[in-house]
Amino acid sequence: EYFSSTTGLEQLLRTEVILLAELQNYVNEITEHAEMLQSEINAIQAEHLSAADSIEGYLNNPVNAFRLIKRLHSDWETFESNVEQDASRKNYLEAMARHKENLSHPTLEDFTGTALAMTRLQQTYQLDVRELASGMLNGVKYGAAMSWQDCFVLGQQLYVMQDFNNTVPWLQQSMQLLVQQSYGKESASLDFMETVMGYHESMGDYQNAIHLINHVLAVQPEQRLHLLETRAHLEQLISDGVKRGLMHEVARSPDDYHSSNEYHMYQQVCREELKPEPATQRKLRCRLHRGNGLRSSYQPYRLEELHLDPYVIQVHDIISAEETIVLQQLARPELQRSMVYSLSNSEHISTNFRISQGTFFEYHEHPIMQRMSQHLENISGLDMRSAEQLQVANYGIGGHYEPHMDSFSENHNYGINTYMSTNRVATGIYYLSNVEAGGGTAFPFLPLLVEPERGSLLFWYNLHRSGDLDYRTKHAGCPVLMGSKWIANVWIRLSNQDHIRPCDLQRDHEISLPYKDFK
């Protein structure tokens, strides 16, 4: 699977390099062949030119007579067998068949995933389709523009995925680009345009369907008479005010999580439209923290409070840039599509609400990992023997993790009885990269956005002191708009932590209950 991380895309780029070389090879071969045939043509034409002066005189020459007969008797046959034996086409197709077997190729799921990622980015960051298609983001040119075909194929894929709300703007964008660009006038292009017209028609976008018909008719008025009828029909629908078609029919069902207030707030936090109140921020401090005295040989930590209740901190410059790169390199070959635990069927599944790739390590596998664990112990005082394995994860463009709790719900079945059968009291996220745009960690209820900062650690408690879930700590990874996001997750279990974070006899969980079923 390629769309869920940047490392997957690197493989696809390598595939394309090889395919490109193969096609170049084919073009070189046919060019060489064509050049050889051209020189034969030129030579024979030169003969004819000299014959044209005096045909009789030319043919009276026995050498010329011999050469003409020889050419027609054998040379032309040679040309034919030459063309027949030209293996370049066959070689190319065979090579391509081999490449299809051996090289990385995106699947339909990748294609669907990447189309979905585009609309996710568009919606979360409220991007203008026109700007996005022109290769601009927030007024900055970031890459090549999309062609009208690119926009159409994206629209078509969204149509297939029945995301009709998002289909329309992409089809319309493709229309707009089409009328600006010069387009092919050959029949195949016009056929394609008719197909595109059909999409507009079934969406109920009659105006644009007519627009396309006019384009096609301007080029081939006689051959495409059937379009006159379609156009008259569409014009009638418009003048009757008929609003039919998929774009008028589908409204997203209101119980979809993506229409909820909570999801809306999450997206606002990702866009930095929703921020903590100045009054709560004023109480926050930055300080140097010596750690809990366990390993005083470390430099004091540069600790920044991000929220007091629930307690969320970011500790800056804990691991070096070089160390973050080492961790990425160790993880790269092991990455797998990230899974989430499904309560309903008690197994790990891949879903669209978490799109990233990840892998797990034991802390003793590498000294950097061991130090990461020690730092967390030093900063929080928690017993790291109760930590889960280190999870390194990578998010590609559009990769995200929708709002969720890291702690397990009250009715979670832990199975066998070890430290793993207690809840996740705290979470630590080491950021192993910066992210060029988007990709922050969002807490919609606080409402807080933490920007990934290479080498820093984000830490918070998921549970109240009573051990109850603190629903305010619901959080998410905003979609990566530009760049590649690397993190390392540490989940610390409640087992053995009593001496550090004594549980409260008063249940202090009421304060977060309103967020439990926030919709």
Ligand X SMILES: O=C(O)CCC(=O)C(=O)O
Interface residue list for ligand X (CB under 6 A):
401, 406, 429, 441, 475, 477, 487, 489
Residue 468 interacts with Fe ion (CB under 5 A)? Answer: no
Instruction: Tell me the per-residue interface mask from 258 to 297 with Fe ion, x by CB under 5 A, - otherwise.
Output: ----------------------------------------
CB of 285 to ligand X, least distance (A): 23
Other CB atoms within 10 Å distance of the CB of residue 500: 13
For residue 507, give Cα distances in angstroms to 155, 425, 502, 511, 512: 52, 16, 12, 10, 11
CB of 513 to ligand X, least distance (A): 22
Among 406, 424, 444, 509, binds Fe ion (CB under 5 A): 406
SS (H, E, C) 54-116: CHHHHHHCHHHHHHHHHHHHHHHHHHHHHHHHCCHHHHHHHHHHHHHHHCCCCCHHHHHHHHH
CB of 286 to ligand X, least distance (A): 21
Cβ closest to ligand X, residue 116 vs residue 480: 480
Q: List the one residue out of 457, 474, 461 whose CA is nearest residue 514.
A: 474
Contacts of 153 (CB under 8 A, 6+ apart): none
**Separation between Cα atoms, residue 300 and residue 290, nearest integer Å:** 5
Cβ closest to ligand X, residue 164 vs residue 471: 471
Q: List the one residue out of 363, 352, 361, 303 whose CA is nearest residue 330.
A: 361
* Residue 441 interacting entry, from Fe ion, ligand X, none, C-beta within 5 to 8 Å by type: ligand X
Per-residue burial over 144-169, b = 16 or more CB atoms within 10 Å of its CB, e = otherwise: eebebbbbbbbbbbbbeeebbebbbb
Per the CB < 8 A criterion, the answer to whether 503 and 465 are in contact is: yes
For residue 383, give Cα distances in angstroms to 289, 309, 374, 378, 501: 18, 22, 10, 9, 10
* Residue 489 interacting entry, from ligand X, Fe ion, none, C-beta within 5 to 8 Å by type: ligand X
CB of 518 to Fe ion, least distance (A): 17
Alpha helix ranges (H) inside 181-296: 187-203, 206-219, 226-239, 246-249, 261-270, 278-281
Cβ closest to ligand X, residue 2 vs residue 401: 401
Cβ closest to ligand X, residue 373 vs residue 427: 427
* Residue 386 interacting entry, from ligand X, Fe ion, none, C-beta within 5 to 8 Å by type: none
Cβ closest to Fe ion, residue 323 vs residue 406: 406
Cβ closest to ligand X, residue 8 vs residue 477: 477
* Residue 245 interacting entry, from Fe ion, ligand X, none, C-beta within 5 to 8 Å by type: none
User: Please, how many CA atoms are within 13 Å of residue 461, restricted to the half-sphere of its CB?
Assistant: 25
CB of 141 to ligand X, least distance (A): 28
Instruction: Tell me the per-residue interface mask from 163 to 202 with Fe ion, x by CB under 5 A, - otherwise.
Output: ----------------------------------------
Q: Find the part of the chain contacting Fe ion (CB under 5 A) among 218-226, 228-236, 352-360, 406-414.
A: 406-414
CB of 348 to Fe ion, least distance (A): 15
Residue type, 310: P
Question: What 8-state DSSP symbol labels residue 387?
Answer: B
Cβ closest to ligand X, residue 171 vs residue 448: 448
CB of 255 to ligand X, least distance (A): 24
* Residue 487 interacting entry, from ligand X, Fe ion, none, C-beta within 5 to 8 Å by type: ligand X
Per the CB < 8 A criterion, the answer to whether 444 and 307 are in contact is: no
Cβ closest to ligand X, residue 152 vs residue 431: 431
Residue nearest to ligand X (CB): 477
Contacts of 304 (CB under 8 A, 6+ apart): 284, 286, 313, 314, 315, 316
Q: How many residues of this chain interact with Fe ion, rule: CB under 5 A?
A: 1
- Edge-to-edge strand ranges of the sheet holding 336-337: 286-289, 301-307, 312-316, 457-461, 424-431, 485-493, 390-395, 357-361, 336-337
- Edge-to-edge strand ranges of the sheet holding 400-404: 354-355, 400-404, 475-477, 441-443, 448-450
Cβ closest to ligand X, residue 231 vs residue 474: 474
**Separation between Cα atoms, residue 483 and residue 437, nearest integer Å:** 7
* Residue 461 interacting entry, from Fe ion, ligand X, none, C-beta within 5 to 8 Å by type: none
CB of 508 to Fe ion, least distance (A): 22
- Three-state DSSP at 315 gives strand
**Separation between Cα atoms, residue 451 and residue 442, nearest integer Å:** 9
CB of 491 to ligand X, least distance (A): 8
According to DSSP, the residues that pair with 442 across neighbouring strands are 449, 476
CB of 389 to ligand X, least distance (A): 13
* Residue 477 interacting entry, from Fe ion, ligand X, none, C-beta within 5 to 8 Å by type: ligand X
Cβ closest to ligand X, residue 199 vs residue 459: 459
CB of 316 to ligand X, least distance (A): 16
Cβ closest to ligand X, residue 248 vs residue 412: 412
Binding site for Fe ion (CB under 5 A): 406
